Amino acid sequence: MRKSRLIDKAILPSGEELTLREEAGFFMVRADGMPLMSNMAHYSEEHMAVLGCKGLKEKADARVLIGGLGMGYTARAALEQLGPTGRVIVSEISPTLIEWNRGPLADLADRPLEDKRTELAVGDLVDYVLSSPEPFDAMLLDVDHGPDSFTAEGNVRLYSRKGLPRLRSLLRKGGTLVIWSAYNAPSFPRAMRVAGFRAESIRVKARKTKGSWHYLYVGHRD
């Protein structure tokens, strides 16, 4: 059995210790020792982009917002759904995670940050959403454990009674919002409908054919 190998670590502004390790042949990012993300399971993140960006390849000015860089899989999957003039804006709060995506993690998702169609917005996604950016055709949000399970309390503002209408207002007509969740939040589709979305919940495997179930909450602006 391979031993765990520390690649890098950093202290976040919140005081948490973020570590990047190689464990049993896979990369693992932990926050204060708790698993945060791994390249062992990323199918649900990629499927989120496929759902949200459907039909955008032929749209010349398509714009996609990704909340949470992760290990780059969502960004790469979104880029593959767009044409040469589409744009992917990645909002990521952690400069350390960005650095790792440009370094030891870069090849996992074929270096999406080096794609000329990718733009980085470094900072809190909530602040970015409130800054009134130009509207998007798709928004793919993976910034916490889900819409009712938070490690950062400020993220609740995204999915609140005021937050969801704000997200809807940032979508172009016909646009799609997809929210990733590690857990089932059965009441959340109703909250999306109250905010004006045509909503559905999709259950998807973390590793395509095996592993735990993740949930994608999809809201369409008709």
List, for residues 13-38, the tens digit of each pLDDT value.
778 899 999 998 899 999 899 888 99
**pLDDT band at residue 155 under the 50/70/90 scheme:** low
Segments making up each domain of the chain, as ranges: 1-40, 41-220
- pLDDT-based confidence at residue 150 (cuts at 50, 70, 90): very low
CATH number of 41-220: 3.40.50.150
How far apart CA 110 and CA 112 sit, in angstroms, is: 6
- Higher local confidence (pLDDT), 94 or 150: 94
- Tell whether the model's pLDDT for residue 153 goes beyond 70: no
pLDDT of residue 21: 96
Alpha carbon distances (Å) from 9 to 108, 109, 138, 195: 19, 21, 33, 40
The pLDDT of 58-69, averaged and rounded, is 96
Question: What is the structure's pLDDT at 2?
Answer: 59
Local confidence band at 159 (pLDDT 50, 70, 90 cut-offs)? confident
The more confident residue out of 211 and 87 is 87
187-200 pLDDT tens trace: 999 999 999 999 99
Secondary structure, 3-state, the chain: CCCCEEEEEEECCCCCEEEEEEECCEEEEEECCEEEEECCCCHHHHHHHHHHCCCCCCCCCCEEEEECCCCCHHHHHHHHHCCCCCEEEEEECCHHHHHHHHCCCCCCCCCHHHCCCEEEEECCHHHHHHCCCCCEEEEEECCCCECCECCCHHHHHHCCCCHHHHHHHCEEEEEEEEEEECCCCCCHHHHHHHCCCEEEEEEEECCCCCCCEEEEEEEECC
Greatest alpha-carbon pair distance for the chain in Å reads: 52
Residue 119 pLDDT more than 50? Answer: yes
> Would you state the structure tokens that stand for residue 145, as one six-digit string?
């454990």
Structure tokens at 7: 């690649």
What tens digit of pLDDT does each residue of 80-100 get?
999 999 999 999 999 999 999
The fraction of the chain above a pLDDT of 70, given in percent, is: 95
What is the predicted pLDDT for the residue at 157?
Answer: 78
Interatomic CA distance for residues 134 and 25, integer angstroms: 41
Q: Which residue did the predictor score with more confidence, 2 or 175?
A: 175
